[in-house]
Chain A
Amino acid sequence: MKEHSLTKRLSSALVPAVPYLWLGVFFLVPFLIVLKISLSDTAVAQPPYRPVFEWSDIAAFFSGLDLENFALLAEDDLYLRATLSSVRIAAISTVLLLLVGFPIAYGMARAPERHRSLLVALVILPFWTSFLIRIYAWIAILKPEGLLTQALMGLGLTSDPIEILNTEWAVYIGIVYAYLPFMVLPLYATLEKMDDTLLEAALDLGSTPWRSFWTITVPLAMPGIIAGSLLCFIPAVGEFVIPDLLGGSETLMIGRQLWSEFFSNRDWPLASAVAILLLIILVIPIVIYRDVEARRVETRP
């Protein structure tokens, strides 16, 4: 009996231990390594940075660390501009996503119940198809002699090719298009549960639809608005594929900067420093997101 309970306890301890260890090794440790390498010097070698750790020489390990890479980030205003521009692009995209996503989620929540699961499936379906392909599809549309120009010329709305590809506008379109399901689904989840009698009561008491929208619908949808906005804003700040394929060389974004430090300049320590910088910008939104999400999952009926 005693043996039985021991194996029982051992096997039950394995359940959290295995995924915990996995994430510790493949998520937490890699971060510490990034932090370490961001503090070390570039070496012309393979791999292109100084060795990570030698137990024999702990004093040298610490004295070898310096803030050179971060000083470089601070000196060269390219990184500051890239950071600011990433945050700006991500913020504008999030607002656009709210503007586009809210009416869709609202329409879904008001659709007859028997159609709703189909509508949800239709929002999710594009998400299952390749992200890269969905961005690629926009190149053909936005190109100067592309399908959008052809359509507008055919309708007689314009006679000149429209220059959208390789501008920031193309990046906004790409982000809104690719992230729309992440905005619509949390919004729909909160709007669907909304009690319509509140709106009715407000209308009966003489409120205008516009006013009841702002005083009732928006506050009730707030958890969905916050979750959706964070779910879009955080990855958008570090987005690489969309600015790279649609934004042209003019669009500065930090994720792209990291990519080129790593792949083109082969400066791994500097790339790590850029990663740490990006993480510092995002740590607060990520913590808020984790709390919102953990609460949302745990309070679900």
Chain B
Amino acid sequence: MNRRLSLFNVTSLVLGFAFLYLPILLLMIYSFNASRLVTVWGGFSTQWYGALFRNQALMEAAWVTLRIALLSASMATVLGTLAALALTRYGRFTGRTLFTGMIYAPMVMPEVITGLSLLLFFVAIDLDRGFWTVTLAHTTLTMCFVTVVVQSRLMTFDRSLEEAAMDLGAPPLRTFFAVTLPLIAPSIVAGFLLAFTLSLDDLVIASFNTGPGATTLPIKIYSQVRLGLSPEINAASTILIGLVTIGVISATLISKRSVMRSQRNAH
């Protein structure tokens, strides 16, 4: 049957997407507001962008956040891919139930619990709070998301390709790097990007585990928001949203092109 959109379907889509996008759009528009008051339009201006780049503390926080996100996402990608392989390729190994529990729990667990428990752990082993504790905490949280993304790709994976390579005499490690890895690469990249944005975005876990010199951008933004709205934050948000949008669109285009290429090769 040909699915047809009813008026109800169209209305709910339009309203739903308006709800999702209007607040972000308003925020972006008001970042170009000349007035200091965030909700009163005072003409077009880009002054807040200038003020933003002169704000040393904010720039420093952005740099710390970026480094933590890159490092923790890289570690999470390796750990998450291994965990996904373990879950799909190792059958029922001992402690599998505990393992899946530890993979799924951090994703839904309230962040306050994860943040507090990791902090108490770092204090117990006497590790100074700062850059590294936030990085380790983010790695632990985001590796679970990488696992789920890579795992769902491995589930639909055609194993006969691996078997063919092994039959032709390739050792397992070589088979993995020559056959498996290239095939699951898009999901690994997707997992990395997800881990990266989650780390960029995290306020709660970072707040618990941060220390001197490791103030991340969300922590900085949060403390400013509590003091009141500021057009500088609007400008910073607009830049972040712009970067993320460009990133997501290019990632979609790349994966679309690779799908098309593999389809072409298949024919």
Measured CA separation A28–B9 after assembly (Å):
45
Which B residue sits closest to A283, measured CB to CB? B105
Let me know if A64 is at the binding interface, CB within 8 A.
no
One of B45-53, B55-63, B181-189, B233-241 at the interface: B233-241
Measured CA separation A100–B13 after assembly (Å):
10
Let me know if B229 is at the binding interface, CB within 8 A.
yes
* Chain B: minimal CB distance from A286 (Å): 6
B20-38 contact mask (Cβ, 8 Å, vs A): 1 or 0 = 1101101100100000001
Taking a contact as CB atoms under 8 Å apart, the answer to whether B5 and A133 are in contact is no
Given the complex, which residues of A lie within 8 Å of B100, measured CB to CB? Answer: 290, 294
Taking a contact as CB atoms under 8 Å apart, the answer to whether B5 and A111 are in contact is yes
Let me know if B90 is at the binding interface, CB within 8 A.
yes
Given the complex, which residues of A lie within 8 Å of B164, measured CB to CB? Answer: none
Category for how many chain A residues contact B:
35 or more
Let me know if A60 is at the binding interface, CB within 8 A.
no
Let me know if A61 is at the binding interface, CB within 8 A.
no
Contacts beyond the supplied A29-B121, A136-B229: 20 A-B pairs with Cβ under 8 Å = A11-B172, A19-B82, A20-B86, A22-B143, A24-B102, A27-B106, A37-B120, A47-B123, A110-B9, A124-B248, A133-B27, A139-B225, A140-B38, A150-B39, A234-B110, A237-B110, A240-B110, A262-B116, A282-B109, A289-B104
* Chain B: minimal CB distance from A14 (Å): 8
Given the complex, which residues of B lie within 8 Å of A83, measured CB to CB? Answer: none
Taking a contact as CB atoms under 8 Å apart, the answer to whether B252 and A121 are in contact is yes
Given the complex, which residues of B lie within 8 Å of A145, measured CB to CB? Answer: 39
Taking a contact as CB atoms under 8 Å apart, the answer to whether A238 and B140 are in contact is no
Let me know if A170 is at the binding interface, CB within 8 A.
no
- Residues from 31 to 60 in A contacting B, C-beta threshold 8 Å: 31, 33-34, 37, 47, 52-53
Measured CA separation A180–B151 after assembly (Å):
24
Residue from the list A104, A200, A301 in contact with B12, Cβ < 8 A: A104
* Chain A: minimal CB distance from B92 (Å): 11
Chain A residues at the B interface, C-beta cutoff of 8 Å = 8, 11-12, 14-16, 18-20, 22-24, 26-31, 33-34, 37, 47, 52-53, 100, 103-104, 106-112, 119, 121-126, 128-134, 136-141, 143, 145-147, 150, 177, 180, 184, 196-197, 200, 230-231, 234-235, 237-241, 245, 255, 258-259, 262-263, 268, 271-272, 275, 278-279, 282, 286, 289-290, 293-294, 297-298, 300-301
Taking a contact as CB atoms under 8 Å apart, the answer to whether B8 and A177 are in contact is no
Given the complex, which residues of B lie within 8 Å of A271, measured CB to CB? Answer: 116
Taking a contact as CB atoms under 8 Å apart, the answer to whether B110 and A300 are in contact is no
Taking a contact as CB atoms under 8 Å apart, the answer to whether B99 and A275 are in contact is no
B73-113 contact mask (Cβ, 8 Å, vs A): 1 or 0 = 00000011011011001100101000111111110111111
Measured CA separation A200–B3 after assembly (Å):
11
* Chain A: minimal CB distance from B138 (Å): 11
Given the complex, which residues of B lie within 8 Å of A275, measured CB to CB? Answer: 112-113, 116-117
Given the complex, which residues of A lie within 8 Å of B30, measured CB to CB? Answer: 140
Given the complex, which residues of B lie within 8 Å of A131, measured CB to CB? Answer: 201, 203
* Chain B: minimal CB distance from A149 (Å): 9
Which A residue sits closest to B10, measured CB to CB? A107
Measured CA separation A110–B10 after assembly (Å):
10
Measured CA separation A197–B2 after assembly (Å):
10
Which B residue sits closest to A238, measured CB to CB? B110
Given the complex, which residues of A lie within 8 Å of B195, measured CB to CB? Answer: none
Taking a contact as CB atoms under 8 Å apart, the answer to whether A129 and B38 are in contact is no
